[in-house]
Amino acid sequence: MQLHSINTGHFKLDGGAMFGVVPKSLWQNKYPVDENNMSPWAMRCLLVEEGNRLVLIDNGMGNKQDAKFFSHYFMHGDDTLDKSLKNAGFHRDDITDVFLTHLHFDHCGGSIEWDNTKSGFRPAFKNATYWSNAEHWKWATEPNPRERASFLKENIIPIQESGQLKFLEEDALFEGFNVERMFGHTESMMLPVLTVNGRKVMFMADLLPSPVHVPIAWVMAYDTRPLITMSEKTEVLKRCVEEDRVLFFEHDYATECATLEQTEKGIRVKNVGNLKDLI
Domain extent at residue 181 = 2-203
| C-alpha atoms less than 13 angstroms from C-alpha of 102 in its C-beta half-sphere | 29
Distance CA 258, CA 213 (A): 12
Cβ-in-10-Å burial (0-12, 13-18, 19+) of 148 comes to exposed
Determine, yes or no, domain membership for 73.
Answer: yes
Question: Residue 117 has what pLDDT?
Answer: 72
User: How many domains are contained in the chain?
Assistant: 1
Determine, yes or no, domain membership for 166.
Answer: yes
> What is the pairing mode between strands 172-174 and 165-167?
unpaired
Distance CA 11, CA 105 (A): 12
Determine, yes or no, domain membership for 248.
Answer: no
CA angle at 78 for the pair 76 and 83, rounded to the nearest 5°: 135
Distance CA 238, CA 236 (A): 5
Question: Residue 116 has what pLDDT?
Answer: 77
User: Do 91 and 85 touch, CB atoms closer than 8 A?
Assistant: yes
Question: Residue 66 has what pLDDT?
Answer: 86
Distance CA 262, CA 232 (A): 17
Question: Residue 115 has what pLDDT?
Answer: 85
Determine, yes or no, domain membership for 67.
Answer: yes
User: Do 229 and 207 touch, CB atoms closer than 8 A?
Assistant: yes
Determine, yes or no, domain membership for 218.
Answer: no
Determine, yes or no, domain membership for 107.
Answer: yes
Distance CA 272, CA 186 (A): 27
Determine, yes or no, domain membership for 104.
Answer: yes
Distance CA 120, CA 133 (A): 25
Determine, yes or no, domain membership for 273.
Answer: no
Question: Residue 186 has what pLDDT?
Answer: 98
Q: Domain holding 159: CATH number?
A: 3.60.15.10
pTM of the model: 0.96
Distance CA 18, CA 185 (A): 12
Distance CA 203, CA 257 (A): 9
Each residue's pLDDT tens digit in the chain (279 positions)?
Answer: 999 999 999 999 999 999 999 999 999 999 999 999 999 999 999 999 999 999 999 999 999 988 888 899 999 999 999 999 999 999 999 999 999 999 999 999 999 998 877 778 999 999 999 999 999 999 999 999 999 999 999 999 999 999 999 999 999 999 999 999 999 999 999 999 999 999 999 999 999 999 999 999 999 999 999 999 999 999 999 999 999 999 999 999 999 999 999 999 999 999 999 999 998
Distance CA 31, CA 44 (A): 17
